[in-house]
Amino acid sequence: MTTAIRQGKTVALATGLLLASAAACAQPDTQPDSPAPAAPTTPGNAAATSGPTPPMVPPTGTAADALKKQAGDVDQASLLRDTLSKTDRSYSLLRAGRIASNYDFNYSYTGNEAIEVGYDSTSAIDLLRIQTTRAHTLTNTLSVDYGLLDNLTVSGSLPFVSKFTQSTKFSGTTYGFGDISFGARYQPFVQKAGGPTITVTSALSLPTGRSPYEQIIGQNTSTGNGFGMGTLGVNASQVFDPVALFGSLSVSAGRSVSNLHQFNDADGSVLTGLQPGTTIGFGAGFTYALSYNVSTSVSFQEGVTTASHITYTSAADGLSHSRGTTMQVSALLNFGLSVRVSPKTSFNLSAGMGLTTDSPDFSLGLNIPLTFALF
């Protein structure tokens, strides 16, 4: 009876790892697509802002991208599940020739309020306006993973994004395909009983979605980042039945974008190029098996992005200028619940709470993994 209970908890624990891994990475890009307001000009900083004004471009959102589920992240959770339930294998990735498909649904909400202040020649306030933005984002993602070797899995994912935005400048709904991504997961070490599971990951995101840098500012929303991005990372997990600990570390870099021509009607400047900053993402958490088929999890995920650099043509002098943006920090605290309904199927629910101003206010997620053999 003791053995049966331990096996049941192991299955539930593995399912919980599936949920926790997906919840930690499955956050969509929820940065508002409306432009960030320029810093207010005050009597104390008038001299510092007397030069050319950079265009009010949409934020790159790369810090939030670190919280997204990359291609193969759900497969990472699947391999953790296999690690716990199949101890006779040398590796915990998909077996060669097997396919795992995953469906992910995610909803997130972001609300921002910015106060714009202007001064006249006597240093008296002559403009005081509150700019409000509310964004609801629904993301449906279908991903497929294939076991190329017992210790090497390749994957691809296709998201479909729907956004409803309300702001002082634009209100409406936008939907379309997001950025397609491809990934690979490699396990360099043979799995040992009682030892940690270490997996090296890589992902490539292509700018197939609607770019925020090719839209009219304040009149449309994007479904993609607008630039390609590459990611390298490492994941580790360790089981202490009925608890499992896991952590991850990744580095992402975006490809520069040129030949842009986004006009800003606020000051007449034109955005011509963008160099995204580098993002470092990390996370950690644990999952706990409550019973044979139910487990819970708690995880923390953070992404820090260095300053991006924009190139624009100023309407004041007609010359090209370059300026860096501020660093972005996005963090989420995730809570998960996993219910196993059959030996091969489980429903994984997650709820995330944003911890910084660059994060979504909150998010809800659903993940359904399926695995089958190709031959």
Q: Which segments within the chain are labelled E, that is strand?
A: 98-119, 125-149, 152-167, 171-177, 181-186, 197-205, 229-240, 243-254, 262-263, 270-275, 279-289, 294-305, 309-313, 320-324, 328-342, 345-354, 362-373
pLDDT at 231: 96
Q: Label residues 237-265 b or e (16+ Cβ within 10 Å = b).
A: bebeebebebbbebebebeebeebebebe
CA dist., res. 265 & res. 56, Å (int): 10
Contact (Cβ atoms closer than 8 angstroms) between residue 103 and residue 139: no
User: What does the CA dihedral 205, 210, 212, 215 come to, rounded to 10 degrees?
Assistant: 160
Contact (Cβ atoms closer than 8 angstroms) between residue 186 and residue 148: no
Q: Which two tokens stand for residue 88?
A: 């006779």
Q: How many domains in the chain?
A: 1
Between strands 197-205 and 181-186, the pairing is antiparallel
Q: Where are the alpha helices (DSSP H) in 187-302?
A: none
pLDDT at 77: 43
pLDDT at 342: 81
Q: How far is C-alpha 358 from the geometric centre of its chain's CA atoms?
A: 12
DSSP 229: E
Helix (H, G, I), strand (E, B) or coil at 257: strand
Closest CA to 273 of 222, 220, 204, 226: 226
DSSP 188: -
**Cross-strand pairs, 298:** 286, 335
Q: Which two tokens stand for residue 165?
A: 């935005």
Domain that holds residue 14: 2-373
pLDDT at 34: 38
One pLDDT digit (tens) per residue for the chain, 375 residues? 434 434 444 444 544 454 444 444 434 343 434 333 333 333 333 333 333 344 444 444 555 555 655 544 443 344 344 444 444 456 778 889 999 888 999 999 887 765 555 555 555 544 455 566 788 999 999 999 999 999 999 999 999 999 988 877 777 888 899 999 999 999 999 878 788 999 999 999 999 998 888 766 555 678 898 999 999 999 999 988 889 999 999 999 999 998 888 887 767 888 889 999 999 999 999 999 898 889 999 999 999 999 999 998 888 888 888 889 889 999 999 999 999 888 777 889 999 999 998 888 889 999 888 765 555
C-alpha distances in Å from residue 63, one per residue of 71, 97, 123, 179, 280 = 17, 35, 37, 16, 8
The one-letter code for the residue type at 297 is: S
Q: Which two tokens stand for residue 31?
A: 């940065």
DSSP 292: S
Residue 117 is part of a domain; what is its CATH number?
2.40.160.40
Per-residue 3-state assignment (H helix, E strand, C coil) for 21-54? HHHHHCCCCCCCCCCCCCCCCCCCCCCCCCCCCC
Q: Which two tokens stand for residue 172?
A: 């409406």
User: What does the CA dihedral 257, 258, 260, 266 come to, rounded to 10 degrees?
Assistant: 80
Q: Which two tokens stand for residue 178?
A: 């997001």
At 158, phi and psi to the nearest 5? Answer: -130, 110
pTM score over 0.85: no
Q: Quick one: CA dihedral 74, 288, 200, 100, positive or negative?
A: negative
Spatial neighbors of 139 by CB under 8 A, at least 6 apart, are 28, 104, 105, 106, 107, 108, 159, 160, 161, 162, 178
